[in-house]
Amino acid sequence: MKKCRKVILIICLVLLCLVITGILLYRSLLSPVSRDSTEKEVVISSGLSSAGIGSVLKENNLIKNDKFFVLYLKLNKINDLKAGRYKLRENMSLKEIVAVIREGNIINDEEITITFKEGINFRELAKVIEDNTNNTVDDVMNTMKDTGYLNSLIEDYWFITDEILDSKIYYPLEGYLFPDTYKFASRDVTVPEIFKKLLDQMGIVLEPYKDYVTRDNKSVHDILTLASIAEEEVSLDKDRSNVVSVFLNRIAKNMNLGSDITARYGIKLDDKRPLTVSEYNDNNPYNTRVQSFLGLPAGPIAMVSKTSIEAAMKPAQTNYLYFISNIQTKETFFFEKSSEFEAKKKELSSVNEGY
């Protein structure tokens, strides 16, 4: 009797091990082949059987086992895979690959990809659109000037208010369009379609802060303005929170922001040459270098990254009033006293070449 129990126990343990092994193997065969995110173009011919599709995927190193692929389809009663050309990646799971082929996400030969980099201003954005689509810079500018269109955006997006309609603002949507890489159906994409995709993404980035903004009656316009200045002033993400802190401290003490890049934006200067004395003193709605200019400029001055938005939402708590960067090493130094700032500025004068 004891021997019988022992045999049954052993059999149960063996079966349990087999089940566990089977589950682990099943999960392994479902998992991605590798972490490689490089896209591969794969052609699934019309009339190809499940086994044939599995062979194509295995040959392209997109699945681990073609026979398991066929078994997976049978177990899940999947029989609607579609022929076509697909872009697939090794870091996709078998389930994801099957879903793509079932949906028929066939490659669009006319599809275009446009990258909008953080830190570029609206003029530069318009040129990127002109270079990559059938729209001109004038098309972009005319869309941006359309009051009816802007009012429709104010209705559609919670983070856009009538602050963008201020006549002092050069480009109403400056800073509101999120920088990223986007895909569009073709070069015939319209400017409003482009703006919608960028605004939708900005909405996604800002969504976690919606309660904070609405509860405390914060101005998204001011937040994006601060974020854009921080974006342009320093190169390293880690410094942006301190930069925002500097500007808020200066505002609290009724000091002008003294930001060179707002002076450059104010005179619509896109090259990197040093400013002249008259340019530093140009009186416009953006030039915070002017001593009498207190508070923030009329609006954002560039496309802003998520890091800069976070810095503007949650700035560091410091007593800093000054900062200066080494333009070669990108290192930024922060100070509470003007004497310390002037000393560092003198030290870096030869390195920064007049900046």
**Residues shown for the chain:** 355
**Residues 151-167 pLDDT 10s:** 999 999 999 999 999 99
- CA 347 – CA 125 distance, rounded (Å): 36
For residue 355, name the pLDDT band (cuts at 50, 70, 90): low
Distances (CA, A) of 289 to 166, 295, 325, 352: 21, 11, 17, 18
- Beta strands in the chain, from DSSP E residues, in sequence order: 39-44, 84-89, 112-115, 181-184, 322-325, 332-335
* Spatial contact of 309 and 228, defined as CB atoms under 8 Å apart: no
**pLDDT at position 354 over 60:** no
| Residues 233/244, Cβ–Cβ less than 8 Å | no
Distance CA(193)–CA(179), nearest Å, equals: 15
CB 302 within 8 A of CB 176: no
Query: Alpha-carbon distance 341 to 355, whole Å?
Result: 14
pLDDT tens digits for range 18-69:
778 777 777 888 899 999 989 898 988 888 899 999 999 999 999 999 999 9
* Residue 107 DSSP class: -
Task: Please state the φ and ψ torsions of residue 319, each to the nearest 5 degrees.
Answer: -110, 15
Residue 170 has pLDDT above 90, yes or no: yes
Cα–chain center distance at 142: 25
- The number of C-alpha atoms within 13 Å of 331 and in the hemisphere containing its C-beta is 6
* pLDDT for residue 304 is more than 60: yes
Query: Which pLDDT score, from 0 to 100, does residue 53 have?
Result: 95
Say how far residue 242 (Cα) sits from the centre of its chain.
Answer: 21
Q: CA-to-CA distance for 3 and 9, rounded, in angstroms?
A: 10
Comparing 311 with 106, which gets the higher pLDDT? 311
Class of domain 31-103: alpha beta
Residue of higher predicted confidence among 18 and 291: 291
pTM beyond 0.85: no
Tens digits of residue pLDDT in 223-238: 999 999 999 999 999 9
The Cα–Cα gap between 244 and 313 comes to: 9
